[in-house]
A and B are shown apart, each in its own frame.
Chain A
């Protein structure tokens, strides 16, 4: 499971990097979205049961061995919410850039077009 997850995360990071290096602005945005998925999965994988015990006690007052750590799941949830909000904002911003003088090439972002 951990191996499969690691491969998946690696593939997502690779795809995100590929998209981020494109000139097309839409691809760059997709790259950012893929990147946030990759990062969320990476956080998830940190919750795999390792040597330490999570901060949850069983009915006998002892830590339960082999239980997944719930904290990273809470972190991922927070990260997803934040990432969602930011993605929507970025999409709106990109849409404003498209409108009027269609900018869809990232190289045009650096150009001065008056002020």
Chain B
């Protein structure tokens, strides 16, 4: 039963992909299958979360091959937290409704790609094998490549091409890092790598791999100076798709960094966390400055992703249990908040026909519900108590105080103010000011945007008001990351059960 539970986050999207590929499936049928599977995925992931939170790490040896030879799937607290939140975002996006244009000849393919993306995302969260992580990443990327340029608009192509090129480059670097570390250690199982590294006389030799893999995931997470692809491409995709990307893609990169740089390339092995800290601070500042200068609503939000990624990796660099717990909480909160904001941005664009917030106005008066759906995540992102962003930032800053990184604290506070400033900018332009002349605000909306946005808003409120409970889970995950012996035990000796 537990085996089935561990594999279900991979199995459910896979079956959906196959089902949606069946010939002769009508658009309505594929929509229904896809939405139903998203519900099943949420149920499976939440079930796994409950099971892992109460019984400890679960593992599944694919084909019953004992580690280090076979591929092992590991569901520890960090993995299942990420799985649960990702599945809820995917559900919200599917409720919002993903549709191609009227002339779209193969509506089922859109669902194939979305569930293909979820397949890759879930696989990356679960795998305990470095090369397998590469494969899941590629599964995720190829789906995202096609989703990005699927509508075939001219405007999508250049951004899409830079996205593809940069990701290919990053994948190549990741693969060379994996090859080098295999040459040194003779294993690709993460737990086995960690235990072999401990016994090695010259562990600094793996720093080459560490640097290569860091650059690869930094590019995928859009860390400075590898962030240029993100604001060039995200806002070009369809709104629902960009919400899915904004919530999940970069965070998979952050997850991989969290996993590898606490388990394998630990600071004890000589990998420089100071370097990561400075990169993170630059990311925070550059991302938010880009956002302040923007007037295209989803582009502005895309710059914010970069800035927030900086907070997450900064926490990784600070190290220690509190900082890691703060990062994990930050990632979860950010996935929910950012997806909501992209959905709101999509609704605003759909209703006015323009993405330029200077040409919006009056939405507070004309649709207060939409304003509420914007206000909750926007204030959360800006770090207003008692919303989830405040708890995330507070804990991160506390970790900074404990480790006495004053420069980081100063940067984080200034960037926080600028974040709030740019959120207020959207509020003023789109919601508060009187509608400009000639604005049409009653274009028809397709899909079911409000249930989707409300679902994510409720999730944000749960993280805010139930912050203590979620933070306890994040803390449990951080404790597991700080003391990998539990992870090693579960993988190498056959689990806690």
Contact = CB atoms under 8 A, between A and B. Distances in A.
B355 interface: yes
Contact of B157 (A46, A89, A97): A97
B158 A103 contact: yes
A93 B176 contact: no
B155 A115 contact: yes
B465 interface: no
Given A39-B179, A82-B138, A89-B145, A97 B186 contact: no
B451 interface: no
A72 B180 CA distance: 11
17 contacts: A20-B169, A32-B168, A32-B172, A35-B168, A39-B179, A45-B179, A46-B182, A50-B186, A72-B182, A75-B179, A78-B135, A82-B135, A86-B164, A93-B164, A101-B154, A113-B154, A115-B355
Contact of A94 (B135, B161, B355): B161
A61 interface: no
Given A39-B175, A45-B183, A85 B142 contact: yes
A43 B155 contact: no
B164 A90 contact: yes
Contacts of A14: none
B149 A93 contact: yes
Interface string B134-159: 11001001100110010011110111
Given A32-B165, A48-B183, A115-B153, 4 more contacts: A42-B179, A43-B179, A97-B157, A100-B154
Contact of A42 (B141, B146, B157, B180): B180
A22 B69 CA distance: 42
A26 interface: no
A42 B149 CA distance: 32
B138 A97 contact: no
A94 B161 CA distance: 7
B236 interface: yes
A25 B186 CA distance: 38
B428 interface: no
Contacts of B266: none
A8 interface: no
Contacts of B182: 43, 46, 71-72, 75
Contacts of B427: none
Contacts of B142: 85-86, 89
Interface residues of B, number: 39
A25 B161 CA distance: 10
Interface of B: 69, 131, 134-135, 138, 141-142, 145-146, 149, 152-155, 157-162, 164-165, 168-169, 171-172, 175-176, 178-180, 182-183, 186, 188, 228, 232, 236, 355
Contacts of A43: 175-176, 178-179, 182
Contact of B232 (A82, A100, A110): A110
Contact of A115 (B146, B176, B228, B236): B236
Contacts of A114: 155
Contacts of B134: 79
A15 to B, nearest CB: 14
Nearest to A94: B161
A85 B162 CA distance: 17
A55 B68 CA distance: 10
Interface string A15-52: 00000100001001000100110110011011010101
A108 B183 contact: no
Contact of A109 (B162, B169, B176, B355): B162
Interface string A60-76: 00000000010110010
A96 B152 contact: yes
A90 to B, nearest CB: 5
Contacts of B149: 93, 96
A69 B186 contact: yes
